[in-house]
């Protein structure tokens, strides 16, 4: 039997020492909701699993009106959803968490795991690699069925979509992420954590094999109007086809600054300054929201079968903006 | 032990209305508590001492020839107890996922490691996995001759309105929640015991006997509960035979093979696709005159079935041609009402499009032509009326295209269906013990439809006993043979056999006790746990006293179907209506409400009958909105062999479901008729029609996914597509 070592360190320092410095050797195990599928589908075959759930300091939600929100990487999606402070001050995040419709996954899945989960591209999951090429080097996505693939940031060679529903609202709130590795702590905007791999050796995260995500820091609420809107085919657990999270700084009825981030449309959570720009100094109306939606997808392109997602992304942006100012109404 | 009833066949009847204590009531299934508490044993739960785990190496290619196989590493691996080459070098493989080599090992991880260590070289051959275009199928397309009824050319010339459209539905899978599988073990050199998830307990031994070279009587098959079959579990399957061979190689140790989810979806069952270019001609008043269809579809290398077109409405003039496409998608199997959901969509969608063209309410169009449905016309007329009331058709229906403001458009749609469902051949042994206990044995199976419950109700009703006095034993091939559960034939078969057995047993018991009651046997009846003289209830004895007269010898009676008396018949009609909302900005379809009105003759248990309809509507919503076996053209593989992208309806997706079962005069006297299949036929068509009614344009193909809905809206033009 192919042996897998299992380690359960108590501190992040121990964890990092147990992790190898090359990908594939070892793997971090949090809630396991994604990692176990990767193992069972033979996408990865590490020789050691490092369970980080015993590391106490990676847990907990702390809120301070002046410092903001601190989420330990091990906070479960359910804990996030149940926290009244999150719902009150960061509604776009709570709404995104609601979209993960399975109680089992919400109970086990962690915030850190949601950001670090691997793409659901069906070629990647079938063992054709992150960039999904066949033996002749052809892109399976371009030649095959790309109905769920990227409409933005899809110049290649990566065409998968970023699966995280929590990243777009975190980026909209300008959250930062802390990593711990052999060299100590690194900190970066959540948005910088995601990147489009250019070769099979690269990853979709700025994460080293022996680093772990330790916490996420969201700046104090500035009275933004914020919301998330997901286009999903099913009410039951289902991957969204497109999502948008928006955070609008308001001066009365007028938008002074905006952050608009789309999910499930590009290999990374897609920040759209173009869309945000259209809102500045405007009062939100249906037409203004619509124009922002148009701007958000201006650079989108179909890969063949996924053209409909352009429309879905446009609608998601429009509806997220309207929901933000109408406080939940569509 | 077998005795025949002296009375005339006319006496084998169902109790009259008003004399049914249990039959037709809303009764909970007898195995409900075992199921919800987790006590019920499924094949998946079977663990035998010393059991090994079998795993199968499958072809990654859709079409290939095996050049060589090297199993040496697997054979040397500690814990591996048997290796069996299923298809050797030189064999041509016709679909991805086909079985190549099997191993049995002491645990699952070892078996998986062994599989991974096997090296197979393939010569890759060209494959075809698309089915939407017969032109591209070349000589894999097998056209059949054109079929003509009446004079279609003249009829189309005469028609005042002609509509033409293309419709279709893709290959879907059965997606049984309990995958296919079994545990096979040799009890000795010659005798095999098989626990298997099956729809056909009685016929599995015979199917395994020949390949294994032993008499069928040496094979014992058992199954307590099954997690879904839907037509895909009649055969032991190649992996079933393989499990027996692995067990033999491992000295008889039990070998368990349950398919992994991906294998279940890739190879263990698919419903053929069907597409058709359909033309319908009618008079301005809606009278149907002419039908023309060019249809095609695939069921893998078998080519698939041929949908009966036009469905139900016998349009007097027809021209029909069908092409079966052979391809490398894996074989089709019977899927709940084979060919009917396909025929229903192709026909009902075309008729609804005709109604839209005529600016007619489709309900009126159906009623106008109801005589074309033949001998069930009156049933459909009644059912359409009831369904219309239940869904509020007259209030909510509007001409095609919801004109209301905003992106949410609401629409109604309808469809009708039919099915056979005559009871199959069934034998049972009913034993009355001298202590008054009753048991019934038959090698039938309960597919989740409530077979145990139905048998219990019939026996209890006939013997005048409470249900908990009846013990039903099924799921063992050593019991009297009973037919496979396919074609909605089980309830008719087992209830008829049980009724006959119970009536005969009572006759014999009456003969024994008549002298003691100073009466003639034919004057006795069994009521409320007593045997009494008809019309003189004072002269009676308890059931236990009566049974004690049997002395030391239990009374066993064989019941059979078919047999004397008309206890089952064939042919049902059903109507379904759907109320949907479509978000025209996103193309997302939501079910608000569905209504099923269904007849199935005499209903044994109202609750389990209704459950069949609820379940069928949920399954129907799945294939209407979500399900598709998505094949990759380049690799020839299935892209969604998992439950993440092979989407089924969840609780939040099904809306409000309403079931109305037809009962009473005109229905009950037809005897017991099966129900497993009919209610799953209409949902695809009814929902497709409702979506067309909502958004003002036909979405030609199922499933009605956002991309297809948006594309249809886009083709129609108008402002929706952009905001
Ligand atoms: C059917 C289904 C539907 C889903 N739908 C959605 C959805 O709509 N939106 C959505 O956002 N998610 C969805 N999810 C994904 C789910 O949210 C993630 O699987 C979950 O959040 C992952 O968390 P985990 O703790 O279980 O991670 P694990 O499975 O333990 O880990 C996932 C990956 O991240 C790595 N990892 C985990 N934690 C850390 C860390 N702290 N530092 C470094 N690396 C780490 C692991 O090594 C692994 O590679 C769905 C999942 C399923 C199965
Ligand atoms: S979620 Fe899956 S395992 Fe759980 S009850 Fe439903 S089908 Fe069964």
Same domain assignment for residues B433 and B414: no
Percentage with pLDDT > 70 across chain B = 98
Q: What is the CATH number of the domain that holds B395?
A: 3.30.365.10
The H-assigned helical ranges of B199-339 are: 204-212, 237-249, 261-267
Same domain assignment for residues B115 and B53: yes
Ligand 2 centroid, distance to B178 Cα (angstroms): 10
Answer whether B633 touches A (CB < 8 Å): yes
Same domain assignment for residues B73 and B212: yes
Q: Supply the DSSP string of B490-558, one letter for each residue.
A: HHHHHHHHHHHHHHHHHHHHHHHHHHHHTS-GGGEEEETTEEEETTEEEEEEEHHHHHHTTTTS-EEEE
Same domain assignment for residues B585 and B700: yes
Neighbour tally for B652: CB within 10 Å: 13
Q: Which atom of ligand 1 is nearest to the CA of A114?
A: 21
pLDDT, average across residues B255-283: 97
| Confidence at residue B130, expressed as pLDDT on a 0 to 100 scale | 87
Q: Which residues contact B536 (CB under 8 A, 6 or more apart)?
A: none
Q: Which of A226, A230, A227 is nearest to A315 (CA)?
A: A230
Residues in chain A closer than 8 A to B107 (CB atoms): 1
Task: Measure the CA angle with vertex B269, ends B146 and B617; round to 5°.
Answer: 85
Q: What is the pLDDT of residues B621-633, one digit of tens each?
A: 999 999 999 999 9
B622 falls within a domain: yes
Backbone phi and psi for residue A316, each to the nearest 5 degrees, phi listed first: -60, -45
Reply yes or no on whether the pLDDT at B482 is more than 70. yes
Domain architecture of chain A: domains with CATH: 57-116+162-218 (3.30.465.10), 225-326 (3.30.390.50)
Boundary of a domain, candidates B258, B289, B311 = B258
The band of B2, judged by pLDDT with boundaries at 50, 70 and 90, is very low
Q: Which of A223, A231, A227, A222 is nearest to A289 (CA)?
A: A227
Same domain assignment for residues B387 and B497: no
Cβ distance A143 to B633 less than 8 Å, yes or no, reads: yes
| Confidence at residue A155, expressed as pLDDT on a 0 to 100 scale | 97
| Confidence at residue B5, expressed as pLDDT on a 0 to 100 scale | 47
Q: What is the pLDDT of residues A140-169, one digit of tens each?
A: 999 999 999 999 999 999 999 999 999 999
Same domain assignment for residues B523 and B660: no
| Confidence at residue B133, expressed as pLDDT on a 0 to 100 scale | 87
Boundary of a domain, candidates B215, B236, B258 = B258
Q: What is the mean pLDDT of chain B?
A: 96
Query: B250 in helix, strand or coil?
Result: coil
Q: What is the pLDDT of residues A30-86, one digit of tens each?
A: 999 999 999 999 999 999 999 999 999 999 999 999 999 999 999 999 999 999 999
Using a 6 Å cutoff on CB, does residue A73 contact ligand 1?
yes
Percentage with pLDDT > 70 across chain A = 98
| Confidence at residue B8, expressed as pLDDT on a 0 to 100 scale | 52
Reply yes or no on whether the pLDDT at B559 is more than 60. yes
Residue of chain A whose Cα is closest to the Cα of B711: A308
Same domain assignment for residues B551 and B616: no
Q: What is the pLDDT of residues B575-614, one digit of tens each?
A: 999 999 999 999 999 999 999 999 999 999 999 999 999 9
Q: Which residue out of A4, A23, A25, A33 has the highest number of ligand 1 atoms within 8 Å of its CB and is therefore the one to mutate? A: A33
pLDDT, average across residues B440-456: 98
Q: What is the pLDDT of residues B128-155, one digit of tens each?
A: 998 988 888 999 999 999 999 999 999 9
| Confidence at residue B303, expressed as pLDDT on a 0 to 100 scale | 85
CA–chain centroid gap for A36, Å, is 19
Residues in chain A closer than 8 A to B103 (CB atoms): none
B644 falls within a domain: yes
B462 falls within a domain: yes
| Confidence at residue B718, expressed as pLDDT on a 0 to 100 scale | 57
The band of B4, judged by pLDDT with boundaries at 50, 70 and 90, is very low
Task: Measure the CA angle with vertex A174, ends A172 and A180; round to 5°.
Answer: 125
Q: What is the pLDDT of residues B514-545, one digit of tens each?
A: 999 999 999 999 999 999 999 998 999 999 99
Same domain assignment for residues B482 and B393: no
**Is the preceding omega at residue B260 within 30 degrees of 0, hence cis?**
no
CA separation (Å) from B477 to B199, B202, B203, B461?
12, 5, 8, 26
Reply yes or no on whether the pLDDT at B9 is more than 90. no
Ligand 2 centroid, distance to B44 Cα (angstroms): 14
Of all protein residues, whose CA lies closest to atom 9 belonging to ligand 1?
A165
Cβ distance B707 to A305 less than 8 Å, yes or no, reads: yes
Is residue A226 within 8 Å of A90, Cβ to Cβ?
yes
**What is the number of domains present in chain B?**
3
Same domain assignment for residues B93 and B228: yes
Query: B428 in helix, strand or coil?
Result: strand
| Confidence at residue A3, expressed as pLDDT on a 0 to 100 scale | 83
Ligand 1 centroid, distance to A44 Cα (angstroms): 15
Q: What is the pLDDT of residues B323-348, one digit of tens each?
A: 999 999 999 999 999 999 999 999 99
Same domain assignment for residues B491 and B600: no
CA separation (Å) from B483 to B182, B442, B493, B560, B670?
20, 10, 8, 11, 21
Which of B117, B132, B586, B650 is the best residue to mutate to test the A interface, defined by the most A CB atoms within 10 Å of its own CB? B586
Same domain assignment for residues B522 and B652: no
| Confidence at residue A99, expressed as pLDDT on a 0 to 100 scale | 96
Is residue B636 within 8 Å of B61, Cβ to Cβ?
yes
| Shortest CA gap B344–chain A (Å) | 25
Q: Supply the DSSP string of A282-328, one letter for each residue.
A: -B--HHHHHHHHHHHTTT----SS-THHHHHHHHHHHHHHHHHHHTT
B175 falls within a domain: no
Owning domain of residue B392: 338-421+569-722
Using a 6 Å cutoff on CB, does residue A46 contact ligand 1?
no
Using a 6 Å cutoff on CB, does residue A177 contact ligand 1?
no
| Shortest CA gap B250–chain A (Å) | 19
| Confidence at residue B3, expressed as pLDDT on a 0 to 100 scale | 40
Answer whether B588 touches A (CB < 8 Å): yes
Boundary of a domain, candidates B511, B528, B561 = B561
Reply yes or no on whether the pLDDT at B113 is more than 70. yes
Is residue B602 within 8 Å of B667, Cβ to Cβ?
yes
E runs forming strands in chain A: 5-7, 26-29, 48-51, 61-64, 68-72, 176-181, 184-189, 212-218, 225-231, 242-251, 254-263, 270-271
Same domain assignment for residues B203 and B60: yes
The band of A1, judged by pLDDT with boundaries at 50, 70 and 90, is low
Reply yes or no on whether the pLDDT at B73 is more than 80. yes
B285 falls within a domain: no
């Amino acid at each position: 039997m192919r042996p897998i070592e299992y380690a359960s360190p108590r501190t992040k320092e121990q964890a990092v020492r147990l992790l190898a410095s090359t990908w594939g050797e070892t793997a971090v195990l949090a809630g396991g909701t994604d990692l176990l599928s990767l193992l069972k589908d033979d996408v990865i075959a590490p020789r050691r699993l490092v369970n980080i759930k015993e590391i106490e300091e990676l847990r907990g939600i702390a809120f301070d009106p002046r410092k903001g929100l601190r989420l330990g990487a091990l906070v479960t999606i359910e804990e996030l959803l149940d926290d009244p402070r999150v719902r009150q001050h960061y509604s776009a995040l709570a709404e995104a968490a609601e979209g993960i419709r399975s109680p089992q996954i919400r109970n086990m899945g962690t915030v850190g795991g949601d950001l670090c989960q691997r793409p659901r591209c069906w070629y990647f999951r079938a063992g054709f690699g992150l960039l999904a090429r066949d033996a002749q080097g052809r892109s399976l996505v371009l030649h095959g069925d790309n109905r769920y693939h990227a409409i933005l940031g899809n110049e290649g060679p990566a065409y998968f979509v970023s699966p995280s529903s929590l990243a777009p609202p975190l980026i909209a709130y300008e959250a930062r992420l802390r990593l711990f590795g052999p060299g100590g702590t690194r900190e970066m905007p959540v948005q910088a954590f995601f990147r489009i791999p250019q070769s099979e050796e690269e990853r979709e995260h700025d994460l080293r094999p022996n680093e772990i995500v330790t916490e996420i820091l969201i700046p104090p609420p500035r009275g933004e109007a914020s919301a998330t809107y997901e286009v999903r085919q099913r009410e039951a657990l289902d991957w969204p086809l497109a999502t948008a999270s928006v955070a609008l700084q308001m001066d009365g009825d007028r938008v002074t600054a905006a952050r608009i981030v789309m999910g499930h449309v590009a290999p990374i959570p897609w920040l759209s300054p173009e869309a945000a720009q259209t809102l500045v100094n405007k009062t939100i109306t249906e037409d203004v929201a619509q124009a922002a939606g148009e701007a958000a997808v201006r650079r989108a392109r179909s890969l063949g079968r996924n053209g409909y997602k352009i429309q879905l992304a446009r609608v998601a942006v429009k509806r997220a903006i309207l929901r933000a100012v109408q406080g939940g109404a569509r | 032990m077998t005795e025949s009833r002296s009375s005339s066949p006319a006496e084998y009847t169902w109790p009259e209305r008003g004399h049914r204590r249990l039959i037709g009531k809303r009764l909970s299934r007898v195995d409900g508590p075992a199921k919800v508490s987790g006590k019920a044993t499924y094949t998946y739960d079977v663990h035998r001492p010393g059991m090994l785990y079998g795993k199968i190496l499958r072809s990654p290619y859709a079409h290939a020839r095996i050049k060589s196989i090297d199993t040496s590493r697997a054979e040397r691996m500690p814990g591996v107890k048997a290796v069996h080459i299923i298809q050797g070098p030189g064999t041509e493989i016709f679909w991805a996922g086909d079985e190549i080599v099997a191993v049995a090992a002491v645990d699952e991880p070892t078996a998986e490691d062994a599989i991974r260590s096997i090296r197979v070289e393939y010569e890759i051959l060209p494959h075809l996995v698309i089915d939407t275009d017969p032109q591209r199928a070349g000589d894999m397309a097998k056209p059949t001759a054109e079929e003509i009824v009446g004079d279609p050319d003249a009829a189309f010339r005469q028609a005042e309105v002609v509509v033409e459209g293309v419709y279709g539905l893709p290959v879907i899978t059965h997606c049984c929640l309990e995958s296919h599988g079994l545990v096979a073990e040799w009890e000795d050199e010659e005798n095999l015991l098989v626990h298997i998830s099956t729809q056909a307990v009685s016929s599995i031994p015979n199917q395994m006997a020949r390949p294994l070279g032993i008499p069928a009587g040496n094979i014992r098959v058992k199954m307590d509960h099954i997690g879904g079959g839907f037509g895909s579990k009649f055969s032991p399957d190649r992996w079933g035979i393989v499990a027996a061979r692995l067990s033999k190689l491992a000295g008889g140790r039990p070998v368990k093979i349950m398919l992994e989810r991906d294998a279940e979806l890739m190879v263990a069952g698919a419903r053929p696709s069907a597409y058709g270019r359909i033309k319908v001609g009618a008079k301005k008043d809606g009278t149907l005159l002419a039908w023309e269809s060019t249809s095609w579809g695939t069921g893998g290398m078998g080519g698939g079935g041929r949908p009966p077109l036009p469905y139900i409405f016998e349009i007097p003039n027809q021209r029909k041609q069908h092409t079966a496409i052979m391809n490398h998608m894996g074989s089709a199997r019977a899927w709940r009402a084979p060919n009917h959901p396909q025929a229903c969509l192709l026909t009902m969608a075309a008729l609804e499009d005709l109604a839209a063209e005529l600016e007619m309410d489709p309900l009126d169009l159906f009623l106008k032509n109801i005589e074309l449905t033949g001998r069930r016309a009156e049933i459909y007329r009644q059912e359409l009326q009831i369904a219309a009331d239940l869904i509020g058709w007259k209030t909510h229906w509007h001409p095609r295209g919801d004109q209301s403001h905003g992106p949410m458009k609401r629409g109604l749609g309808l469809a009708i269906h039919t099915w056979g469902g005559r009871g199959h051949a069934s034998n049972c042994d009913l034993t009355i013990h001298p202590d008054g206990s009753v048991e019934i044995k038959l090698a039938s199976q309960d597919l989740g439809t409530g077979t145990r419950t139905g048998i219990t109700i019939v026996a209890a009703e006939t013997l005048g006993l409470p249900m908990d006095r009846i013990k039903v034993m099924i799921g063992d091939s050593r019991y009297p043979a009973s037919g496979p559960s396919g074609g909605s034939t089980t309830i008719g078969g087992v209830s008829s056999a049980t009724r006959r057995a119970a009536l005969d047993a009572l006759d014999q018991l009456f003969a024994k006790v008549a002298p003691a009651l100073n009466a003639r046997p034919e004057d006795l009846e069994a009521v409320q746990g007593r045997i009494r003289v008809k019309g003189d209830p004072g002269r009676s004895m308890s059931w236990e006293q009566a049974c004690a007269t049997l002395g030391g010898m239990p009374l066993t009676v064989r019941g059979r179907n078919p047999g004397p008396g008309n206890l089952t018949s064939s042919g049902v009609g059903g109507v379904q209506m759907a109320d949907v909302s479509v978000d025209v900005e996103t193309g997302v379809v939501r079910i608000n409400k569905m209504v099923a009105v269904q007849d199935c003759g005499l209903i044994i248990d109202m609750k389990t009958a209704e459950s069949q309809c609820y379940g069928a509507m949920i399954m129907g919503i799945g294939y209407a909105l979500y399900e598709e076996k998505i094949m990759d053209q380049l690799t020839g593989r299935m892209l969604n062999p998992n439950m993440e992208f092979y989407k089924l309806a969840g609780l939040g997706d099904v809306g409000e479901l309403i079931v109305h079962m037809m009962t009473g005069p005109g229905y009950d006297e037809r005897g017991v008729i099966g129900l497993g299949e009919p209610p799953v036929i209409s949902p695809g068509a009814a929902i497709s029609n409702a979506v067309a009614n909502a958004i003002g344009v036909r979405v030609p193909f199922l499933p009605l996914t956002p991309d297809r809905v948006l594309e249809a809206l886009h083709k129609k033009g108008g402002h929706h597509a952009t905001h």
